[in-house]
Structure 1
Amino acid sequence: MTERMDKEGGSPAQGLKRELGLFSAISMIVAVMIGSGIFVSPSSALEHSGSIGLSLIVWMVCGILSLLGALAFAELSAVVPKSGAEYAYFLDAFGPLHRYFGELPAFLYSWVFVFVLRPAEVAVIVLTFAEYFVQPLVPLVGELDAHNWTLLKKLVGSLALGLMVYINITSVKLYVKVQNTFGVFKILACILVIVGGCWWLATGHTDLLSEPFKGTTSSPGQIALAFYSGLWAYDGWTAAAIVTEEVKRPEVNILRSILVAVPVVTVLYVSMNLMYMSALTTTEMIGAPAVAVLWAERILPSWMGFAIPLGVALSTFGCGLSVQFGVTRLCYVAGREGHVPRFFSWVHHERLTPAAAVALQGALTLLYMMLGNIVELIEFASFLIWVSYGLAMLALIVMRYTKPDVQRPYRVPTFVPWLVLLISVYLSLMPIYEDPSLKYMFVLVFVLLGWVVYHFYVHQKKKSDFTRKLTYLVQMLFMVVAPDEVEDKSDEALNDKSNQVK
């Protein structure tokens, strides 16, 4: 069959449709970058920097560094116009260099992110959503002991997760509508904090800001930790690159979405931190279980007490929805390459969504939710995110030499990937240096297990009757077909229409 080209993106049709315009791409980046952190625990940078002034400088510099990294990803998305972000870049940069080891980084990336890191992250996000969603209901249900409170959160979280799975399975258009709506409410919640803080300052409450650099640390290690906290809060700027194949005119809109979203988030983060620090002392911010809630109790009228918990709930739901959307596309691309079972790259025969991949992420997320406290799991595995960013920068540098003739709509200065690479190396090693725990052995063991799976089931392509039966079961259960079959049906429909016209 001749390969058809996607009208809007110029890339081969792969079964997914380009439904994300510029506003949706911006909204997705904002949704993933702004989770609950800026509302709940933004004080880590302040704690390590020691002063308001240095803390705000850290937040601003972290925004600029995040923008540089995102611009490098925008160039990568133009050189490798495929979904999956780092996964696709590793394949194209390192795959041709060695038959065996060239594909290994991409496989291990999908292995860790698809099966552990992203579903565990969504599980934490969903449980945070549940906690803030049920807070206004406490007067209605009465005081609950710790066990029943946990059960209630898991019940509400499970319902929210089911809604996320339903949205992502139903259609990309539905996801876009929900994501854009929640994105607007998320921005409004941030603006509420900023406007309330401006009113607080305008009424003369400037005492806490009178000596902005008092207490500034002189320890290089503490300053480094402040930057580590800030850069972690900005994580998510790769969101649009992960879904390149579903973005309209990706060669233009990914860059534009980054140039809008990352500066907007930077302004919001810096402004919100300033407003928090104008009303709360450093001790209060560090000790508060939820900084924004404590701030609202002090600043906002009592009748607006529901606004911040509602804002956190909407923010976390939108963030979880978008993170799940992105990782299902990574799963989809990895299935297309044979790095996970191929049926994960198949799409629903009518809705054109990777239904099996969405269901897998829903099941894994539910499993992690039921396991209990998994925040620690994310903390000691999250350094792998910076490993992947560093390898992506290395991939960009490699492809500058191996693909010099590939059309690049724009090109970042050479110092940018080198700078981000150095920062990534530092941020990858910092958690291990600060806390050389045996817990990191779990990550090593899991990566080595992935290598074993890669050797036997990807490199040697071992098959079994179980996998064939599982493939048939998944196809029947989720009504998914290979993208080529969708294209064939589309072609037949076009031919039928043509004949009817004749």
Structure 2
Amino acid sequence: MGDENENKPIARKVSNGDDNNAKDIINNNAGDGQEVTLKAKMTLVNGITVIVGSIIGSGIFVSPTGVLKYTGSVNMALVVWVISGLFSMVGAYCYSELGTMIKKSGADYAYIMTTFGPFMAFLRLWVECMIVRPCSQAIVALTFSVYVLKPIFPECDPPESVSRMLAMCCILLLTFVNCYSVKMATRVQDYFTYAKLLALFIIIAFGMYLLALGNVQYFTFDDTKTEVTSLALSFYSGLFAYNGWNYLNFIIEELKDPVKNLPRAIAISCTLVTVVYVFTNVSFYTILSPSEVLGSEAVAVTFADKAFGMFAWTIPLFVAMSTFGAVNGILLTSSRLFYAGAVEGQMPEILTMIQVQKFTPTPAVLAISLLSMMYLFVRDIYALINYVGFATWLSIGVSVLCLPVLRYTQPDLVRPIRVNLFWPILYLLATVFVTVVPMYASPYETGYGCLMILTSVPVYFIFIAWKNKPKGFQKAMGSITQKLQKLLMVVRGKTSQ
């Protein structure tokens, strides 16, 4: 795919009519001998910052209270943080085989498509693209705006309308960056990842100093909760903080030497984040009591107020920088999920298009951005995330299930990395525990989440399974696609399929 003859029909579509500018750009691009495709420009360091920057958002700074709430004691909370990190490492290890075996953008969507077919893949695609990713991006952007505005409104929360407008500006700015250049987007990810790590290292360094002075009074197993449901919910909170370890797999087509760099980036990133998370929590408890942590809306800010005095203002600044980088990471990876779904024919054709000068998936970037900005005006946006939160881990579990299934159904696939089957089986057993038990403990949220997933079924059968649609509908969609191609200067380029 992607040779000159094959691209001609798409180029003729774009230049159809009087748009000579579009025609000139595409002809010049063809004359340069460049394929219109996503370019592999990301290095190992870029890969590490994508994962670390996507995992570390606002959670570790703002609210590590969920784990403590369900464990009851500081020491047990630290145990959960360690096990959650190890659990994420096991999942990431399984993904390293899947990612180097199925080298397509889209990560778990691509793996489920290859293993279980289009219907199961679309269930994952629908929930992730239409709810989880845009909601997550909107929430992180809102967190960014709140912390940027904190110095202006030190005694109260900033006006909701102002927060939402600033969040929209954040999304729009990063949309421009991601449409303009993949290299620029990865640089933003690099720099803001370094900033958030610097903030956490400052907290850790001060915490270790206090620990050396003997501030260990809160490190006990007193009041530890032993109920199975509480334990499961504590892991649910811990794993949520590690969410994002699989994000590099979504953009694997743009990673240089993925067979070598994907497993290295995953291993380095997951180890680094686990160590940072655990030691950051240790630092919090050297100066904050369990009741103070549970009563704080932003634990890192409360820590800074007690530890840094007049310099406490720096932590909200770092939280804002952290969330800004997290919005960029979600945008960078989510757009590739839209792109991957369109390549498989499960999203509108325009989302398969690549900008002919910048080689960025501009329509896909714009799609996730527009959806995110729409969710900024939904009052119960946090409830939506809670409703489908379990679906995220369920779908990752299904993706890991692809590994042993493909060993049986497609044993001849080239596997540069071959994971011992003990690890995916262990991960699947743990996934059952952290999804089924919360379903029992929170049936209301789970029920709404299941209903949201089921909304994908009629969409699938009407828009995807039904092939012989009316000619008028097909003509209208084709016309819209051509107009958008001319407007955005995009064509369908070469893919890995």
Question: TM-score by structure 2 length?
Answer: 0.89
2:272 is aligned to 264
- Residue 177 of structure 1 aligns to which amino acid in structure 2? R
Contact between 1:32 and 1:323, CA under 8 Å: does it hold in 2? yes
Match of 2:92 among 48, 63, 70: 70
Match of 1:33 among 55, 58, 82: 55
Q: CA deviation at 1:169?
A: 0.7
Match of 2:126 among 87, 111, 134: 111
Choose 462-471 or 188-197, whichever is displaced more.
462-471
Contact between 2:164 and 2:376, CA under 8 Å: does it hold in 1? yes
1:187 is aligned to 197
Q: CA deviation at 1:431?
A: 3.2
Q: Secondary structure at the match of 2:443?
A: coil
1:409 aligns with 2:416: yes
Question: TM-score by structure 1 length?
Answer: 0.88
Q: CA deviation at 1:3?
A: 6.0
- Residue 401 of structure 1 aligns to which amino acid in structure 2? Y
2:483 is aligned to 473
2:464 is aligned to 458
Match of 1:436 among 427, 433, 443: 443
Query: In structure 1, how many angstroms separate the alpha carbons of the residues matched to 2:110 and 2:217?
Result: 51
The C-alpha deviation readout for 1:18-46, integer Å capped at 9, x for no partner, is: 11110010001001111101011112212
Q: Kindly report which structure 2 residues correspond to 1:246-257, keeping only aligned pairs within 5 A, or say none.
A: 246-257=254-265
Q: CA deviation at 1:204?
A: 4.0
2:390 is aligned to 383
Q: Kindly report which structure 2 residues correspond to 1:213-232, keeping only aligned pairs within 5 A, or say none.
A: 213-232=221-240
2:454 is aligned to 448
1:292 is aligned to 300
- Residue 453 of structure 1 aligns to which amino acid in structure 2? V
1:311 is aligned to 318
Match of 1:395 among 389, 392, 402: 402
**CA distance 1:436–1:129, shift in 2 (3 Å):** same
Query: In structure 2, how many angstroms separate the alpha carbons of the residues matched to 1:381 and 1:84?
Result: 19
- Equivalent pairs, count: 462
2:355 is aligned to 348
2:145 is aligned to 130
Q: Secondary structure at the match of 2:315?
A: helix
Q: CA deviation at 1:479?
A: 1.6
Match of 1:88 among 88, 106, 110: 110
User: What runs of 5+ residues in structure 2 fail to find an aligned partner?
Assistant: 5-34
Contact between 2:144 and 2:324, CA under 8 Å: does it hold in 1? yes
2:73 is aligned to 51
The C-alpha deviation readout for 1:216-268, integer Å capped at 9, x for no partner, is: 22323322222221112111110111111011111111100011000100000
- Residue 384 of structure 2 aligns to which amino acid in structure 1? L
Q: CA deviation at 1:117?
A: 1.1
Over 4 Å off, 4+ runs = 1-4, 439-442
Q: CA deviation at 1:175?
A: 0.4
The C-alpha deviation readout for 1:327-385, integer Å capped at 9, x for no partner, is: 10010011111100111010111111111111111111000001223111001111111
Q: Secondary structure at the match of 1:412?
A: coil
The C-alpha deviation readout for 1:125-149, integer Å capped at 9, x for no partner, is: 000000011112236xxx77x6x71
1:493 is aligned to none
Q: CA deviation at 1:440?
A: 4.5
Q: Kindly report which structure 2 residues correspond to 1:115-194, keeping only aligned pairs within 5 A, or say none.
A: 115-138=130-153, 149-194=159-204
2:217 is aligned to 207
1:423 aligns with 2:448: no
Query: In structure 2, how many angstroms separate the alpha carbons of the residues matched to 1:78 and 1:402?
Result: 18
1:21 is aligned to 43
Q: CA deviation at 1:441?
A: 4.7
Contact between 2:138 and 2:376, CA under 8 Å: does it hold in 1? yes
The C-alpha deviation readout for 1:283-305, integer Å capped at 9, x for no partner, is: 11011010000000001131x12
Q: CA deviation at 1:207?
A: 2.9
Query: In structure 2, how many angstroms separate the alpha carbons of the residues matched to 1:268 and 1:35?
Result: 13
Q: Secondary structure at the match of 1:370?
A: coil
1:238 aligns with 2:253: no
**CA distance 1:225–1:399, shift in 2 (3 Å):** same
Contact between 2:72 and 2:224, CA under 8 Å: does it hold in 1? yes
Choose 452-461 or 191-200, whichever is displaced more.
452-461
Match of 1:373 among 380, 385, 399: 380
Contact between 2:196 and 2:321, CA under 8 Å: does it hold in 1? yes
- Residue 239 of structure 1 aligns to which amino acid in structure 2? Y
Contact between 1:390 and 1:422, CA under 8 Å: does it hold in 2? no
**CA distance 1:83–1:277, shift in 2 (3 Å):** same
